[in-house]
Amino acid sequence: MAQLGMDLNRFILEEERKYPSATGSLSLALTAIESASKIIESKVRKAGLSNILGTTDNTNVSGDQVQKLDVIANDLMIRYISDSGQFHALASEELDDPVFPENGRDGKYVISFDPLDGSSNINVNVSIGTIFSIHKKIDGTVNDFLQEGHKQVAAGYIIYGSSTVLVYTTGNGVNGFTLDPSVGMFLLSHPDMKIPEKGKIYSINEAYAHKWEKNLKAHIDSYKEKGYSLRYIGSMVSDVHRTLIKGGIFAYPADSKNKSGKLRLLYEASPMAFVIENAGGRSTTGAEDTLNVKPDSIHQRVPVFLGSREDINELLNVIG
């Protein structure tokens, strides 16, 4: 097991050495994401001093109000990812269509990302984050993004909270790294992360309970009788990070208004499911394993349930 305090870049290289056929391309790709996240983190930390709080006059393709920091984070991710030369194409929650960088013509991967998850919480200083998902390039078209989640080669997130933490997996365990601002490096702080088999926390927006299917509502209500605690921040990256560490369940179900769910498959549901399942947990849309869903568009939405294996199994016994 890697030692606590190991630098992320060294950790990535050590992992690469385990695979003799590795070309180093994925390592460079992950390093590009790390670099972008450090710059985004610096912008988030001084947002109130830089006149970059607040909204723009635009909405994104998903219909969400675009924050000023959304634009900045999106531009930074595009710049660093494109300049790395490792990605043939990129898709962002903030963009209508994929981007095919000139430098990435020979890139082996495509990446989907939410540059600033939870951006509605920016102005009230609540934790937000960046989520990313990497697939292999197949044919060099938009179809490269329409692969099932279990085909991801890497996924993870960066949470900008009381500390900045980067969590990622390449399908062989989950590790977390905390940014040490004094040296400007992500250092291993959460090695080989494992979600508890069962938790005592549920994370869901109960304000929408009147719109849920009755069996789901009854099951969520039962958590109170079982002594579960409700914890809901409204930034998926924050709620999932807590669920990963403490166990329990995070849910954003479909309802009578959003019949296909609200969260995006490529940018939120699939990468978070990949992290949770590689930490020993489980994820589902209620109808099938999230990682088995084959996207039909790059902005597809799905219901999301993920967390401790026993909690998800109990849920599926009711709604599955």
Contact (Cβ atoms closer than 8 angstroms) between residue 272 and residue 242: no
Residue positions annotated with a catalytic role: 64, 70, 93-94, 114, 116-117, 268
Query: What count of residues does the chain have?
Result: 320
**HSE toward the beta carbon, residue 131, CA cutoff 13 A:** 28
